[in-house]
Amino acid sequence: MRQSLRRKSCSACARSKRRCSLSAPSCRRCTAKGIECSYPTVTPVPPPLPNALPSDSIDDALLSLQMPSFTSSTTEAYGMELDSVDHHAHAHAHAHAHAHAHVHAHTANDYTARAEFLAHMMSLQSTALADKGFNVFIHSSQTLASDALRDALAGSALHAMRNPSNARFVDSEIARRASNIVAVLLAASISDDTLDLQMLPSVQALLVYQCMRLFSPGSISQQTQAERDNFVLQIWASRLQLSLERGDDLMEVSWELWVEQEAIRRTLICIELAQGTYTYLRGNWPVGVRCNHDLRFNAQKALWEAKSAAEWRLVCDDFAHPSMPCNMIRLHKDIRDAMPGDLDDLGVLLRAVGEGLKDMNTWLRHDKEALQRWGQVGV
């Protein structure tokens, strides 16, 4: 039987027979009552014929967010042949399969916790935009230079102020703004006069609205519409990737060009993270999600948060803030030795999801300021 795409209500809402907002990590009703919010555990459905077990590398765990389901057919999944004649061999194989199932179930729970942490972080990107004027994929110099991002900034501020009294008005306004952006992007996608780079702010704005509606939705209908709009992001992710330059030497590029290229790379990564994470948490294998394993970005916090060309150049020349070029293929190696104060939020969340939340908490202890900000992740 085909598994339902619908996420189930949390346990508290199900018991009280109330409508659940399905927000992650806690629905609005549980948040208001100050009670623990827990959703039914859903095991993602794998594609046919999985070839290997998942690993802890960021390549497998993070970008694809792919996990095989651990069911009673464990012996079939891993090619175990049981000799029905030899009782001892059968018992040994059964015990071996049981041990595998236990380990894999634990791994599945660990990956789900990582995905939930990532979903929570993606839901905060609109809040970050409202609070600071930038986030992990929108640079501070872009926000006021684009009408689309100005609107996204205003929409993010509205969403941050959402409460039961104004929820209907805020949700309607967010839906209107997102619908307008989708219409603009669809029209541009079939126009011969469109320059793809000019549409980057609109793509970023839609991604902001997607983070709101997918991970912190005001209603089920809002979330459903966001699911339908995902294909627009996929179209533009493919087009924007063609606009990426090959070179990324900080000494050979201007600040303006670096910001543009870095914003494209980060936007592509976040589109993939948002769509892959959402699909995974809905209990499905993220088939069709574009995996940009060869994407690069710079995880140095001071570089991304520089507010002017002069400040950016000073950071480039400052040995106290080493450049951290990262390739998604070897990301776990590129950021393994980085300190919490060196990584911007994108680098931190990628490290947490790739290496695990337990490792994240151990790593944060090396920086009191970072520990105070992030707290105990996943606790």
Note the pLDDT of residue 75: 28
Please state the domain count of the chain. Answer: 1
289 part of a folded domain: yes
Helix H or strand E encompassing 325: strand 325-327
- 8 Å CB contact between 12 and 30: yes
Given CA atoms 296, 301, 307, 311 in this order, what sign does their dihedral have? negative
One-letter amino acid at 158 equals L
127 part of a folded domain: yes
92 part of a folded domain: no
Over residues 327-365, the pLDDT tens digits come to 888 888 888 888 888 889 999 888 888 888 888 888 888
Residues ≥6 apart with Cβ < 8 Å to 379: 361
74 part of a folded domain: no
88 part of a folded domain: no
* 330 vs 71, more confident: 330
Average pLDDT of the residues in 183-205:
92
Question: Measured in Å, how far apart are the chain's first and last C-alpha atoms?
Answer: 35
Average pLDDT of the residues in 68-78:
31
* 165 vs 74, more confident: 165
Task: Check pLDDT > 90 for residue 149.
Answer: yes
Residue 66 main-chain phi, psi, to 5 deg: -105, 125
- 8 Å CB contact between 117 and 378: yes
Over residues 198-256, the pLDDT tens digits come to 999 999 999 999 999 999 877 888 999 999 999 999 999 999 988 888 766 677 789 99
Mean pLDDT of the chain, nearest integer? 78
72 part of a folded domain: no
223 part of a folded domain: yes
Host domain of residue 325: 110-374
Note the pLDDT of residue 56: 43
27 part of a folded domain: no
Task: Check pLDDT > 50 for residue 65.
Answer: no
Residue 61 main-chain phi, psi, to 5 deg: -75, -30
Q: Out of 104-108, 306-310, 366-370, which region has the weakest mean confidence (pLDDT)? A: 104-108
